[in-house]
């Protein structure tokens, strides 16, 4: 697999970055993908509906794919030094696909596991069950039972949190790790939806804390967030229930920015779990209850280590929707007895939509934290001292107690504390979380106390070739850390100038940032401090509206002559099949031409079309426009009648032209994965004339023309079939016209132009194209031959289309080519069109190679 499909490079990059990978190769993945990831030819395969069942014919259809993908994945498993740790065999196969077929289809799952094993795949396997239904519990062959959970919506959260998933885990799979294969870190927005920028609940970091920490309380040992990064449905990858952006309101935005607060909170939770090995052997001991608190408005879950004394106490509101702040104290048992805390004064506070994980008997090397109401960010032994970082919301009262190792003292070195006492074999520190305070506990513990916003800017990068970490506070992002002698080399990103504090071994006296030495000084508590300066770059982007744009000045069509259909989702109601899939056409625009000889009586024509959510259509009689629709966000099909504007002449030949679009095949559970696309039915009113149909589509159909960009990139518009959306089309003799002028008549037109960029290489500058059109405009946006925008003016909501570096060349030439489809009788145009930067980060990101961007070459078989 090469170019865009070079997965070896992806897995190598994951290994370099230190990211573990769970692979979900299919053949069925769901994931809001067209047909759930199944190939288009599956729509006319002999087995028709009978896929995802225990069936030998189905196995024959998928065997080559499974063998090819498995052999590609096997060298990248963790057993081979790669990043792959698990293999997902299927997704959400939790109800029968075919009525009457045996369920669960254990033969099918066994086939997948054995075939992947034949290719060398040895990592554990699992299946993702819908909503913890136990459909594959105690059923071979998945090694681990896993499930998904999507409790939130864009505007509300549940009124209950009953922790029933723990009981179901004990019932279904308590002999394997508690695994959630998909837990919502957002949700996809549908066409005509509010847009990802207007989804308050998914944006709220408090809700992230509330729900994720409840999962930790239930000892979820493998938590896969869907999605941590959504990205883009480029080309025609998505089904009709989504649009181009797959931002998902995830922790990392589509343009890769990490400014959403929940990213920072997920980072804090991850860093805590990484340094808490006792969590891996913990079990939920006591469900959420108020017996551990002084307020009935607050409940606490007890999760205790089976192998030792460490206990995790997760507090939240008794009513999850409570937005009020509540004051309370904790009543908890420890190895030194029962305590009501804080001991030294004040009360704890729990904000609305929030949660905390407090700890007791928590080991840090040879030392033990008896309890901490402030949450632990991380800890590390540096030289001879244990460095412990804790945090809480701004100006909250918290308390941390250490079991004393002898004559420990307590000294506040920086910032302030409320009180610090040695009592009953412990050292107890009471404080408010505001800014940064540092307390020395005896000779070997340094306690750093942070407020949450300060903790958000604190990073714990692993030192290369070591499991040890350094702590870096201040930058927008820290990517890596390397120690060479007395020099610490950091790589990362800045979006503004910032003070930086570095907690590292005392031998470090030189610090580099992205290869440049920075001036630092030693603080009173032994860390290094300095300043990282951000310099605004000069960014020159073209004004797209002022560029010079150009526009170009059926014997090869497929005759629709199939009298039967392999697709059995519905019976044919036309004399020949007009299902595009029967002819191998599955992507983007489809055009039908119907030839008939008039009886002189025809008054109009009615159609029933299928294209998926959002699909549009336009219809002509000869060159007379009859009507069109910009699509609907709520319907997969359309039924309509169009009247002819005049009486037809008997004996004359007429041509009907129907332009429609396949917005992606249905997913399985959305109903009718094989439901066809195309003309389902038609009726020539007041006539019995026979219509002879022809169909055209993306060039080559299943034998698609662009092997580099793949089968889901381009559709069947004439300009796409000709390849004019690619760089360097033959436009020298074309007319000059701007897409902001548009076209005055209904139909399709391509506009193309090119421009150079020379953005500074030491910056990460995400770019996006913004466009808005007049009534009824639909548009496909091509950048260097890749379709990275599908715009529907009448549906929306997307008008901003992020373009990743590598698709757009930040240092080099670029071609942009919007294809307009005007469904309005008055034509249409772009009202606005611009290229902008969505962020500027002075970065250690490094050079980004462009994906293959083959230029236009004449297609001899294009028509």
Active-site residue list: 92, 182
Q: How many CA atoms lie within 13 A of 816 on its CB side?
A: 27
Strand duo 125-129 + 84-91: pairing: parallel
Any alpha helices (H) in 173-229, and if so which ranges?
200-203, 205-217
Structure tokens at 466: 């070591």
Structure tokens at 777: 């405009």
Structure tokens at 37: 């990831």
Nearest alpha-carbon partner for 691 in 612, 575, 568, 777:
575
**Residue 167 CA, distance from chain mean position:** 30
Query: b vs e for 84-93, b when ≥16 Cβ sit within 10 Å of the residue's Cβ?
Result: bebbbbbbbb
* Largest separation between any pair of C-alpha atoms in the chain: 110
**Residue 254 CA, distance from chain mean position:** 8
Task: Measure the CA–CA gap between 726 and 787, rounded to whole angstroms.
Answer: 10
Q: Is 700 helix (H, G, I), strand (E, B) or coil?
A: coil
Structure tokens at 44: 């006319």
Burial class of residue 142, CB neighbours in 10 A (0-12, 13-18, 19+): buried
For tokens 């997920």, name the residue.
Answer: 266
Nearest alpha-carbon partner for 629 in 610, 644, 616, 643:
616
Q: Cα separations (Å) of 186 from 36, 260, 422, 448, 559?
A: 19, 12, 46, 32, 46
DSSP string, 468-517: -B-EEES-SEEEEEEEETTEEEEEEEESS-EEEEEE--TT--EEEETTEE
**Residue 440 CA, distance from chain mean position:** 43
Burial class of residue 70, CB neighbours in 10 A (0-12, 13-18, 19+): buried
CB 223, CB 215: distance < 8 Å: yes
Any alpha helices (H) in 119-160, and if so which ranges?
none
Structure tokens at 444: 């070997």
Task: Measure the CA–CA gap between 663 and 613, rounded to whole angstroms.
Answer: 7
| HEC profile of 719-747 | HHHHCCCCCCCCCCCCEECCCCCCECCCE
Strand duo 510-513 + 516-518: pairing: antiparallel
Nearest alpha-carbon partner for 759 in 806, 816, 818, 725:
806
Spatial CB neighbours of 680, under 8 Å, sequence gap ≥ 6 = 570, 573, 574, 578, 579, 608, 609, 610, 637
Query: b vs e for 473-494, b when ≥16 Cβ sit within 10 Å of the residue's Cβ?
Result: bbbbbbbbbebeeeebbbbbbb
CB 274, CB 702: distance < 8 Å: no
């Amino acid at each position: 697999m090469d170019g865009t499909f070079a997965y070896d490079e992806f897995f190598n990059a994951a290994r370099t970055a230190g990211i573990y990978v769970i692979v979900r190769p299919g053949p069925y993945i769901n994931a809001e993908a067209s047909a759930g990831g199944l190939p288009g030819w599956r729509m006319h395969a002999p087995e028709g509906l009978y896929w995802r069942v225990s069936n030998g014919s189905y196995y024959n259809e998928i065997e080559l794919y499974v063998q090819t993908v498995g052999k590609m994945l096997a060298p990248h498993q963790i057993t081979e030094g790669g990043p792959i740790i698990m293999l997902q065999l299927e997704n959400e196969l939790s109800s029968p696909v075919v009525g009457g077929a045996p369920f669960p289809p254990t033969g099918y799952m066994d086939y997948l596991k054995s075939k992947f094993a034949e290719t060398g795949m040895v990592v554990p396997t699992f299946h993702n069950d819908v909503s913890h239904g136990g459909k594959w519990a105690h059923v071979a062959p998945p090694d681990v039972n896993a499930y998904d959970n999507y409790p939130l919506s864009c505007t509300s959260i549940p009124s209950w949190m009953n922790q029933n998933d723990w009981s179901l885990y004990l019932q279904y799979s308590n002999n394997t790790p508690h695994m959630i294969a998909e837990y919502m870190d957002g949700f996809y927005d549908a066409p005509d939806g509010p847009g990802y920028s207007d989804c308050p609940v998914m944006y709220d970091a408090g809700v992230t804390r509330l729900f994720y920490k409840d999962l930790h309380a239930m000892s979820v040992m493998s938590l896969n967030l869907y999605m941590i990064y959504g990205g883009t449905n480029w080309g025609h990858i998505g089904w009709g229930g989504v649009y181009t952006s797959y931002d998902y309101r995830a922790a990392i935005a589509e343009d890769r920015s990490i400014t959403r607060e929940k990213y920072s909170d997920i980072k804090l939770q991850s860093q805590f779990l990484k340094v808490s090995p006792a969590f891996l052997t913990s079990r939920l001991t006591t469900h959420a209850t108020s017996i551990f608190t002084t307020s009935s408005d607050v409940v606490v879950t007890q999760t205790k280590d089976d192998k030792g004394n460490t206990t995790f106490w997760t507090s939240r509101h008794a009513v999850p929707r409570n937005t009020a702040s509540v004051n309370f104290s904790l009543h908890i048992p420890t190895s030194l007895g029962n305590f009501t805390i804080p001991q030294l004064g004040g009360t704890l506070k729990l904000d609305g939509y929030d949660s905390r994980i407090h700890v007791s008997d928590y080991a840090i090397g040879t030392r033990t934290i008896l309890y901490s109401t402030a949450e632990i960010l991380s800890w590390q032994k540096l030289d001879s001292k244990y460095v412990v970082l804790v945090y809480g919301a701004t100006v909250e009262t918290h308390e941390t107690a250490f079991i004393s190792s002898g004559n420990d003292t307590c000294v506040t070195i920086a910032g302030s504390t409320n009180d610090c006492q040695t009592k009953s074999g412990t050292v107890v520190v009471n404080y408010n979380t505001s800014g940064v305070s540092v307390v020395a506990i005896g000779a070997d513990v340094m306690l750093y106390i942070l407020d949450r916003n300060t903790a958000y800017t604190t990073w714990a990068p692993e030192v290369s070739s070591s499991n040890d970490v350094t702590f870096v506070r201040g930058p927008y992002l820290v990517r890596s850390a390397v120690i060479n002698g007395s020099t610490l080399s950091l790589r990362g990103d800045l979006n503004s100038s910032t003070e930086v504090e570095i907690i590292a071994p005392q031998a470090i006296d030189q610090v580099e940032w992205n290869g440049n030495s920075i001036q630092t000084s030693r603080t009173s508590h032994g860390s290094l401090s300095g300043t990282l300066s951000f310099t605004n770059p000069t960014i020159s982007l073209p004004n797209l509206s002022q560029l010079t744009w150009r526009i170009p000045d059926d014997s090869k069509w497929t005759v629709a002559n199939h009298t039967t259909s392999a697709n059995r989702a519905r019976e044919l109601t036309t004399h020949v099949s007009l299902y595009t899939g029967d002819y191998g056409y599955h992507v983007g625009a489809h055009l039908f031409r119907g030839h008939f000889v008039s009886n002189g009586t025809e008054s109009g024509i009615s159609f029933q079309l299928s294209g998926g959510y959002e699909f549009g259509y336009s219809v002509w009689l000869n060159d007379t426009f009859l009507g069109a629709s910009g699509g609907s966000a709520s319907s997969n099909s359309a039924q309509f009648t169009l009247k002819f504007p005049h009486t037809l002449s008997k004996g004359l030949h007429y041509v009907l032209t129907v332009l429609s679009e396949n917005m992606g095949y249905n997913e399985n559970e959305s109903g009718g994965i094989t439901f066809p696309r195309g003309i389902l039915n038609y009726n020539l009113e007041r006539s019995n004339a026979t219509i002879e149909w022809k169909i055209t589509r993306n060039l080559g159909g299943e034998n698609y023309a662009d092997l580099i960009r793949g089968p889901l990139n381009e559709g069947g518009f004439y300009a796409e079939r000709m390849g004019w959306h690619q760089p360097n089309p033959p436009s020298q003799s074309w007319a000059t016209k701007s897409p902001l002028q548009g076209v005055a008549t209904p139909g399709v037109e391509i506009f193309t132009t090119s421009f150079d960029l020379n953005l500074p290489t030491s910056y990460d500058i995400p770019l996006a194209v913004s466009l808005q059109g007049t009534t009824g405009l639909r548009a496909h946006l091509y950048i260097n031959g890749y379709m990275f925008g599908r715009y529907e003016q009448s549906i929306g909501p997307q008008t901003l289309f992020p373009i990743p570096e590598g698709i757009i060349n930040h240092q080099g030439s670029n071609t942009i080519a919007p294809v307009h489809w005007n469904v309005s009788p008055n034509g249409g145009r772009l009202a606005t069109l611009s290229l902008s930067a969505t962020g500027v980060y002075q970065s250690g990101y490094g050079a980004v190679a462009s994906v293959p961007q083959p230029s236009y070459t004449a297609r001899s078989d294009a028509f």
